[in-house]
Each structure stands twice: as C-alpha cells, then as structure tokens.
Amino acid sequence: MFNNNTVQRFKDIETPFYYYDMDMLRQTLDACRDASAKHNFHVHYAMKANFNSKVIDTIQSYGFGADCVSGNEVKAAVEHGFDKSKVVFAGVGKSDKEINLALDADIFCFNVESIQELEIINELAKAKGKTAEIAIRINPNVDAHTHHYITTGLDENKFGINTWQLHDVVDMLRKCANLQFLGIHFHIGSQITDMEVYRSLCIRINEMQDWFENHGFAIKILNTGGGLGVDYHNPDTNNIPDFESYFQVFKKFLNVKPGQEVHFELGRALVAQSASLISRVLYVKNGQKKNFLILDAGMTELMRPMLYQAYHEIENLSRGGNQESRDKKQEDSAFLSFGEGRGEALKYDVVGPICESTDCFRKDVDLPQSYRGDLIAIRTAGAYGEVMASGYNLRDHVQSVYSE
Ligand code: LLP
C-alpha cells in the first residue's frame, strides 16, 4: 500500500523505476531469521532473485549465506561481505573460469549437477593444490505443482543428477582425491505454495540420505533448496510469507541426524513483496473491443508476465489504486488530488511500449478510468524483476528508488 506522501514523491521522479520498500524487506528478513533460528536452520539467500546492491547489503547484514549461480554472483557475494564459509555455488553449466574463481574464493560448497562436473572440479582443485567441498544435487523427481517453466525437480528437467546415476556418482567420488563430499542438495522449483510438496521432498531426501550412508558416505549437509512462494494476489494483506509453517514441515518430516545441518536457499520469499515497478501511462487507446493502457514500462523492465504468464497486481496510484482498494478508501480525496478526476471503473489491457504483441502485463484489468500521466504500480516485483530486465529495443536501464 502506498501512502499519499510516497505517491506525491513519485510525481517528481522519471519513470519507469523499481521502488524498494526497505521496511518491508526488513520485516520479511526478520520473520525468516526468527523462524529459521528456532530450528537452527541455515538460510542462504538465492542472489539470482535480486542482486541490487542495497538489497543484498541489507540481506547480508542479517547474517544469511549466499546461494550463487554464476562466477559473478560468487564475486558479488564476497564483495558484499557475505561470509565465504556460507557461500554455495550451484548451476548446471559452471565454466572452468567460474569454478576457478570459486576455488580461489574458498567458498563453502559447490552443488554439483553432473558426474562430469565432479571430474572437472576435482581436476581444477588438484591443479591448485586444494580440496573442493561439494554436495550432490539430486533430481528427486518430485512435482513442485508450479508453472512448468519454473519446475526443476522432474526427470525431464536438466537439473541435478538422476537417482539411477548415483552408483556412478559414488564410484567417481571414490576416485576424486581433491573433493570432499559434504552432503546432498535439492531444488525442485519456484513459487511453491503447496506445503504438501515439501513433505514429499522431505520423504525423498530421507531415502536419499539413507542410500548414501548405506554406501559408506556420511552426510553432513542436507540442502533442501528454495522455492517458497509468495501471494501475488494480496501484496498488502498477505505480504510476509508463512516462514513458520514452511520450516515446520522440514522440522516434522526431515530425518535430521545428530551433527547434520539443514540448509535452505530462499530467493523470492525474501524479496518479492519489497518492490513495485512504477510506471506512467503514456497513452490511452479506447477501442470498440478493448481499452489499452500503454505504459512507459514493458517486458524490458519486468519480464515475468510475458515469460511465465505470471500474475502481478496492477494499481493506478493517481486514482487511488486498483478498483478494490479504491472502493475501500473512496473518500480519501488526498489520494485523488492530482490527475483529471475520479472517473468510472473500466477494463484495460495494460501493455508496454515494446514492439512485441506479448508485451502485455495483463488483460482486462479492472481500474478506475485512467489518463495519460497517471502513475501505475505493478506490485510484488522484487524477485526476478530488476535482475531480469533487458536492453532490448536499446531501452534505458531501469532505475531504482528506495523508501529510505
Ligand atoms: N536454489 C536454486 C538451485 C535455484 O535454481 C533457485 C531458483 C533457488 C534456489 C531460489 O528459488 P526461489 O526461492 O526464488 O523460488 N525467474 C523465475 C524463477 C526462476 C527460479 C530459478 N531458480 C520467476 O520469475 O518466477
């Protein structure tokens, strides 16, 4: 929810920009830290969700670790002060250069995604006279019940090592003197809201750890990955994910043995609700079949709706929000103090300026009658928003504005 002062402040800022509510970010981090600390669980922030400097500095200050998926993310994590003994490096295609960089940075653990990668990390570590600590990313064939583009833990996905290859994995581990096996890693997908999915994952993890131990490999680390979803439909009333219930599932169903550590890699859940993309209406096109609001932000600034048919709440800040929030505060005339009047509710296709038909944030959005120059907020854009922006059409790089 944006208060009147914030909306007034936006009036003087060139759009589009990401607006970060730092208080919301801290409330979310507090909730996650408190809920995980109860069980002594270790949380690594998945930097890919948002590597905006101010955001990662704030997250780092909470003492979370970092989950990285490129050499540059490893570098950024170290530069931003994440404790290197809490940096993990995942990814199905780590290059030799990236592996060497991570070895030089003495990170905590490589999450290894293929048998060939084990061989290569061993060789590169040997050349440096080092031992690389590794976890095996296992593809558990558990359905995350999320959009198929962000499902990663099924047999047909490219990620991790399939269970039928584990005999070859342990053979390879026995040969690799420069690898230190720490444990097993999983990540089955993103925007998971059904806690049953995590129960199924726990059951698979228990089976897998027994398998390794029966083959003579002690497990120190159980890394369950990330994926906890957020409420894209209710960014004001349900803005902090239910970390308590999430961690409780693992507490209840994971068979944690003495001396083992349980690790998590949360991205979206920590940052999604703390940012909105703020844009202005450039043009209004009233057609016979459709009304279009053409914004100055498009798929180059926020790709998720176009790539995953993702839902984001859309509000006209100059006319009191979306139709629902506007009904609630209809008499807040300060909110409506600029623009060309209140207008009636209409349905709009809210689109961007990019020369692609797919450049549409949402069709048939209920909004108060809208005008050129109105400020539009696209909510819950803190995860996989700014970081997935592109320069397509030679667009300017999207700016960031902070609440403080
Ligand atoms: N760990 C690994 C190995 C991952 O690949 C990911 C995300 C995470 C952790 C963090 O997942 P999270 O907690 O954020 O769900 N661009 C897509 C999401 C892609 C997720 C990629 N991997 C989107 O906008 O929905």
357-384 pLDDT tens trace = 999 999 999 999 999 999 999 999 999 9
pLDDT of 314 over the 50 cut:
yes
* Sequence ranges of the chain with CATH classification 3.20.20.10: 22-272
As a CATH number, domain 22-272 is: 3.20.20.10
Q: Are 14 and 399 in contact (CB under 8 A)?
A: yes
Residue 3 confidence (pLDDT): 92
Q: Are 388 and 304 in contact (CB under 8 A)?
A: yes
CB-based contacts of 366, cutoff 8 Å, min separation 6: 322, 323, 324, 345, 346, 347
Centre of ligand 1 to C-alpha 215, Å, is 31
Distance of alpha carbon 154 from alpha carbon 371, whole angstroms: 46
Strand partners, 137: 185
**Both tokens of residue 258?**
């003495």
Centre of ligand 1 to C-alpha 226, Å, is 7
125-169 pLDDT tens trace = 999 999 999 999 999 888 777 777 667 766 777 788 988 999 999
pLDDT of 287 over the 90 cut:
no
Distance of alpha carbon 270 from alpha carbon 198, whole angstroms: 18
* Sequence ranges of the chain with CATH classification 2.40.37.10: 4-17+273-402
Best probe residue, ligand 1, of 184, 190, 309 (max atoms within 8 Å of C-beta): 190
SS3 365: strand
Which residues have CB under 6 Å of ligand 1?
46, 48-49, 67, 90, 150, 187, 190-191, 225-228, 265-269, 304, 308, 383-384
> Rounded to 5 degrees, what are φ and ψ at 280?
-120, 150
**Both tokens of residue 187?**
């990540």
For 264-319, the DSSP string reads: EEE-HHHHGGGEEEEEEEEEEEE-SS-EEEEES--TTT--HHHHH-----EEEGGG
Q: What is the mean pLDDT of residues 326-352?
A: 63
For residue 329, name the pLDDT band (cuts at 50, 70, 90): low
As a CATH number, domain 4-17+273-402 is: 2.40.37.10
Q: Are 225 and 185 in contact (CB under 8 A)?
A: yes
Residue 248 confidence (pLDDT): 98
The proportion of the chain whose per-residue pLDDT surpasses 70, expressed as a percent, equals 93
Residue 402, classified by CB atoms within 10 Å of its CB into exposed (0-12), middle (13-18) or buried (19+), is middle
Closest C-alpha to ligand 1, atom 16 = 384
pLDDT of 188 over the 70 cut:
yes
Q: Are 349 and 362 in contact (CB under 8 A)?
A: yes
> Rounded to 5 degrees, what are φ and ψ at 166?
-70, -30
SS3 137: strand
Centre of ligand 1 to C-alpha 259, Å, is 28
Q: What is the mean pLDDT of residues 239-258?
A: 98
169-178 pLDDT tens trace = 999 999 999 9
Closest C-alpha to ligand 1, atom 19 = 150
